[in-house]
Amino acid sequence: MMRARARSRRGGEAGATLVEFVLVAPVLFLMLFGLIAGCYFAYQNSAIHDGATAAARTASIETWLVSSAHVNPSNGMFCESGKPFSIEKSVGQAAPLLTVNPAPLCATSTSATQMTQTPQVPGDVNITVMCGGTCAAPTSTEVSLVYVTKGLTQPFGLTYTLKAQSQVPILSP
């Protein structure tokens, strides 16, 4: 008779373990996926700042950002020379997991003080370059990057706008 009572008690406790797991598992998984999403967001934030720094450095070593030699035939705008390499490429190398807008950086004229990408692509890193003086002969450059991301929070419909700026003076030889 004692053995029968001991067996009946063990059977009830096995179900209690399952109930405890069902109560604790959602909280555990929420914390785990929240940690993963937070780390991914921190990576994106770090990558966008690295991209801005690399873009400003690239813009500062170009001898001229725009000139009449680089006119875009489709819209008649003056575009970045891309020498020694393009600003878009330097952002892509500094932030390899982010999608960078492939459109060239262009200005309305050689005397413009700002270069932008046209069209701006939602979900890509979009670049704007502000030139001290003119973009044909800048005295300083300030690069702004804007990245709108949904991260890993798709079910909640949240979007995040990450922005980064970097400014570099141009040293005359």
Which range of residues forms the domain containing residue 55? 2-169
**Closest among 75, 95, 87, 58 to 170, alpha carbons compared:** 58
Residue 157 has pLDDT above 80, yes or no: no
Give 167 or 11, the one with higher predicted confidence: 167
What is the mean pLDDT of the segment spanning 37-59?
89
Taking the C-alpha atoms of residue 109 and residue 76, their distance in angstroms, rounded to an integer, is 9
Model confidence band, residue 101 (pLDDT cutoffs 50, 70, 90): very high
Residue 155 has pLDDT above 70, yes or no: no
**Closest among 116, 166, 136, 142 to 65, alpha carbons compared:** 136
The count of residues in the chain is 173
The region of weakest confidence among 17-26, 64-73, 116-125 is 64-73
Model confidence band, residue 16 (pLDDT cutoffs 50, 70, 90): confident
> How many domains does the structure of the chain reveal?
1
What is the mean pLDDT of the segment spanning 4-19?
66
Model confidence band, residue 158 (pLDDT cutoffs 50, 70, 90): confident
Per-residue pLDDT, 171: 64
Per-residue pLDDT, 23: 92
SS3 20: helix
